[in-house]
Amino acid sequence: MRPYHAYPLQAPMTLDSRLPDFRALSPSQRLDQIARTASLGPESAALLSKPGALPLATANGMIENVVGTFELPFAIATNFTINGRDVLVPMVVEEPSVVAAASFMAKLARAAGGFETSSTEPLMRAQVQVIGIPDANAARNALVQRKAEIIELANSRDKVLVGLGGGCRDIEVHVFPETPRGPMAVMHLIVDVRDAMGANTVNTMAESVSPLVESITGGRVRLRILSNLADLRLARARVRFSPDTLTTPEYAGTDVIEGILDAYTFAAVDPYRAATHNKGIMNGIDPVVVATGNDWRAVEAGAHAYACRSGRYTSLTTWAKDDAGALVGSIEMPMSLGLVGGATKTHPLARVALEILAVKSARELAEITVAVGLAQNVAALRALATEGIQRGHMALHARNLALAAGATGDEVDRVARRMAEERDVRADRASALLREMRHR
C-alpha cells in the first residue's frame, strides 16, 4: 500500500505490539509485560494494579453530586502496526470479544504492513446563532465584510492557543431565510484547537464575539456553542488483506472477501443495517476514547452525523477489492480528541493510557483510534460472512455468565469452556454446570 500521511511520522520505536500468548497470562502477568514493553514507571503500573485508581476527591472535583466511582475493565489491544510503528492500544469497555476481535484483525493486517493513517488539521466549529433579522443574506454579507475584525477579537480571548500556533482561522455564515422563528443567520468560527478537544476554547470565543456580531447584523444572538459535527477535523485509516491472509481451515480467503463485500454493501444501501454496522465500528473507537479520558459522546455524535452527510445514513467505512483481488478497507470520520484539558489530565488512568500509547499529538491519537475502529469493523464483517457473529462472541460472553452464576477462580474458565464446547451459552446452564462441578 502507498502511504498517504498528512504529517511526518514519529521516529520508529522498538516496541513490539504482538505479545504472543498474552491472553493466556493472568491479569498481573499481563500488567508486568505491558509495564516492561511500554516502559511504564512504577507509579503508572501501580495505578493499573489495584482498584480505585480514581480518588474520590478527584472524582468529586470532576462532576457534581459524586457518591462514589464506577469501574470498567481496562484492557490492551495488541498486534497493531500503524504507520510503521507498533502500538499498544488501551481500551476501556464492558463488552466481551471487542478487544479480542480488534487484536486478531490487527495481527492479520501486519502481513501487508498494518494500518496507514492520515488526518486533517484540528479545526473545530463554534456556532453563533443570530435571530431577529429581516434579511439573513444581508446579515451574512455584513459579517463576511467584517471577518478580519471578528477573527481578531476571537483570538484576543486565547493568547496561549495563538502562541501555540492555533486560534481562529476563518468564519463561515450559513443562512436560513425561512424558519418557524423567522430568518436566521448562523456564523461559524473555524478554530484550530491544536492538541485540545476544543469545546471550552471555541465556546469562549463564540461568547466573546457575540456583542460584535449583534452590532454588525442588528440582530440578537441566541446560541453560542460548538458543533460536534467536526467535519473539518477528520481522521482516516486504510488497511489491506490478501486472500491468503483471510483463508481459514473452513473458508477460502476469496470466499471470505466476497462475503465481506456483500455484508458491507448491505450496510452501504440500508440504514437499518448501517446503524448496527457503524455501532460495530464504535465498539472499537469508544473504548479508546474512554480510556484516554476523552468525550465519547461527542465522538459518537460526530460519527453518526457524518454518516448522514449525503442525506442518507450509510456506512462510515468503505470496502472493495484491488486489482490483485485483495480486500482494501478505509474509514474517514470526525475525531475530536485531545491530549490536554478535561479528564485527559485529571483522571490518573487516562494519563497512563496516553503513556502506553506514546502519542505526541491529538492528531496521532485520532489516527490510532480510527484504525482500531476499522479493525473492529472488518472483524465483525468477517465473522458475519463466515461462522456468524455469535460463535466467537458467545464463547467469550460465557465468562460473564459464569461470573454471574457465582463462579470464582478457575471455575470461571471451566464453566465458560464447557458452555462453549456445548454451544449452549445461557445463564441457567452456567448455574447448572457450576452446581455439578462443585458437587463433584
Indicate which residues carry an active-site annotation.
95, 279, 295, 393
Kindly report the three-state secondary structure assignment for every residue of 269-310. HCHHHHHHHHHHHHHHHHHHHHHCCCCHHHHHHHHHHHCCCC
In Å, what is the CA distance from 255 to each residue of 106, 260, 371? 20, 9, 24
Side chain identity at 382, as an amino acid letter? Answer: R
State the burial class of residue 297 (Cβ atoms within 10 Å of its Cβ: 0-12, 13-18, 19+). Answer: exposed
In whole angstroms, give the CA distance from residue 411 to residue 434.
Answer: 7
Place of cell 504492513: 113
Q: Which of 341, 339, 336 is nearest to 303 (CA)?
A: 336
In whole angstroms, give the CA distance from residue 277 to residue 281.
Answer: 7
Measured torsion, CA atoms of residues 381, 385, 390, 395, in degrees rounded to the nearest 10? -90
On whether the CB atoms of residues 44 and 355 are closer than 8 A, the answer is: yes
Cell readout for 335 is 475525531
Total residue length of the chain: 440
Place of cell 504482538: 18
Helical spans, DSSP H, in 114-270: 136-145, 147-155, 159-163, 199-217, 243-246, 253-269
Question: Could you give the maximum distance between any two Cα atoms of the chain, in Å?
Answer: 84
Q: Compute φ and ψ for 42, nearest 5 degrees.
A: -60, -35
DSSP 8-state code for residue 158: -
The CA radius of gyration of the chain, in Å to the nearest whole number, is 24
Side chain identity at 309, as an amino acid letter? Answer: R
Place of cell 470461571: 412
DSSP 8-state code for residue 192: E
Other beta carbons within 10 Å of 313:
17
In whole angstroms, give the CA distance from residue 383 to residue 263.
Answer: 10
Place of cell 456483500: 262
